[in-house]
Chain A
Amino acid sequence: MIYLDYNATTPLDSRVFEAMAPYMKERWGNPSSPYSFGNEARIAVEKARRSVARQLGCKPPEVIFTSCGTEADNLAVRGVANALRHRGNHIVTTAVEHHAVLNTCRALENQGYRVSYVPVESDGAVRIGNVEKNLSPDTILITIMHANNETGVIQPVEEIAALARKRKIVFHTDAVQTAGKSLSPSCELGADLISFSAHKFYGPKGAGGLFVRQGTPLDPLLTGGPHERNLRAGTENVAAIVGLSEALALASESAGSESGRLQKLRDRFETRIKSAVPRVKINGASAPRVPNTSSLTFDSVDGESIVLGLDLRGIYVSTGSACSTGDPAPSHVLLAMGLSPKEAQGSIRISLGKHVREEDIDTVVQALTDTVTRLRGISSIETTRVPSS
């Protein structure tokens, strides 16, 4: 099999698994228990917190562990909205956010908040001026992703952070696609809140986190015990937290060299597919992009048919984001970039990771060429003649 969907999830690194195993097998105590056996688990959780804080360049208490990236996004967006309701009810985000942020904003609209969805340009990036234009005196939160999961396009988050700081508005960035990779965020990015998810960087599923800059107003989503500085009640998923921290540490060791390798592979893929297949477009190619992602639109064919055609050859790619696959609605990200619904329907995403080799790229280019050519042969849009009746 050739797996090219690393933005959806990644395989667990065996070293991460080894680090996690003792906390499922032997040291299964509750970190909040008042005896030494529980304390072993507490030590592991706090060691993980210090390690993650080192990677983020922040203080350990600024790291909150969650059950996933979606929970981190929810905690950030709803947490700030609830905490600052007395100050204002306006939230600024973009039209291309992950559903974890987008649908959370929509839910807040139903609760009386006002949300501005800043458009992106055809390259997939927001312009800082458009963000600024949407700010108002009652804006309490800006939430804009670091890099897009479908196109890999990087948003100008440093500039947005500076703008937010100047206007004294809390800024959250969903860094699920950059954390543990080449662009791994640190607190120097300037965001007050940064979401990340372990399974995107060879860690376990069910483990996410949120950087919360000291002093950021935030209400918890889950209330209960005093876990995670009262911001996230619930017994810590010790093994998953250990796995997250181990995966992030390992990722930072190899991020630099891996990023160059992936960039070369992605360039090879894009160059070859463009010369092999006519009428293909790379989405977001003119904007800065993370090095592992390629979003392609093939004229006159359907993305899901391409995905199945490749699947039957043991090659795994995605139409849009994993969560929306099977949903007949075309990608909101591509539509926001100005693609027509038909173009969005003819799009696929490939995302590379550490087990992809150069020869895999060549195999995929050939299989993709065959698949698209076959589907165009079937496609009604390719007919040249409509009989007169």
Chain B
Amino acid sequence: MDTPNEQSGYAGPVLFYNEEVIDHFTNPRNVGELPEEETDGFGLVGDPSCGDQMKLWISVKSERIEKIAFKSFGCPGAIATSSMLTALAKGKSIEEARRISDDDVVEALGGIPERKKHCSLLGVLALQAAIKDWEKRRAAGKEEGK
């Protein structure tokens, strides 16, 4: 399929997403929720009253993301980038996961239409929020253990 010229300012209804993006939209990876007992960190970003929203759960073992799950309200770009973000983060150490950027997500998808690039930030922010939550819970846990 021809890709529309971004310079022309034209973007069709489906914005001519590439096959990889369509695949992550159609078959999103790691979609769902983790049960409370497996959740070590949770992130919620976005505001559904004015745009996209994402929830992300992580289960951490030995400072490594063992399980990850997400749910997303938003456009195909938001769903596909959320899915790819979880695919990239799964199995990574917390330190590696923390360094995943929106550009990494877009690159892994082989590109996304210009005006949808902001979507890729949603997943990154959700992951960072979940990692922060994990740190907070861990600190609280150590506190309790004393």
Binding site for B on A (CB under 8 A): 300-302, 304-305, 307-308, 311-312, 316, 318-319, 322, 325-326, 328, 340-342, 345, 377-383, 385-387, 389
Contact B14 A307 (CB under 8 A): yes
A386 to B63, CA, bound (A): 23
Q: B22, B55, B76: which contacts A383 (Cβ < 8 A)?
A: B55
Contact B79 A326 (CB under 8 A): no
Contact B13 A318 (CB under 8 A): yes
Contact A385 B36 (CB under 8 A): yes
A326 to B53, CA, bound (A): 18
A389 to B44, CA, bound (A): 12
With A326-B15, A380-B71 as contacts: A341 and B49 at CB distance below 8 Å: yes
A-chain residues with CB within 8 Å of residue B48 when the two chains form the complex: 342, 380-381
Question: Within 8 Å of chain A (Cβ to Cβ): is B145?
Answer: no
A318 to B12, CA, bound (A): 10
B72 shortest CB reach to chain A, Å: 5
Contact A380 B75 (CB under 8 A): no
B120 shortest CB reach to chain A, Å: 14
A320 shortest CB reach to chain B, Å: 10
Q: Which 3 A-B pairs have the closest CB atoms?
A: A326-B11, A380-B71, A380-B55
A387 to B35, CA, bound (A): 9
The residue in chain B whose Cβ has the minimal distance to the Cβ of A311 is B14
B-chain residues with CB within 8 Å of residue A382 when the two chains form the complex: 71
Q: B12, B73, B137: which contacts A379 (Cβ < 8 A)?
A: B73
Contact B74 A302 (CB under 8 A): yes
Binding site for A on B (CB under 8 A): 11-15, 17, 22, 25-26, 28, 31, 33, 36, 39, 42, 44, 48-55, 57, 70-76, 78-79, 115, 133, 136-137
Contact B49 A340 (CB under 8 A): yes
Contact A341 B22 (CB under 8 A): no
Knowing that A378-B72, A385-B33, A385-B36 touch, tell me 7 more A-B residue pairs with CB under 8 angstroms: A308-B22, A326-B13, A326-B15, A328-B115, A381-B48, A381-B53, A387-B42
The residue in chain A whose Cβ has the minimal distance to the Cβ of B50 is A341
Contact A342 B49 (CB under 8 A): yes
A316 to B13, CA, bound (A): 9
A264 shortest CB reach to chain B, Å: 27
Q: A304, A318, A385, A389: which contacts B75 (Cβ < 8 A)?
A: A304
Q: B22, B52, B74, B79: which contacts A312 (Cβ < 8 A)?
A: B22
With A328-B115, A342-B48, A342-B49 as contacts: A301 and B73 at CB distance below 8 Å: yes
With A319-B13, A326-B115 as contacts: A381 and B33 at CB distance below 8 Å: no
Contact B52 A302 (CB under 8 A): yes
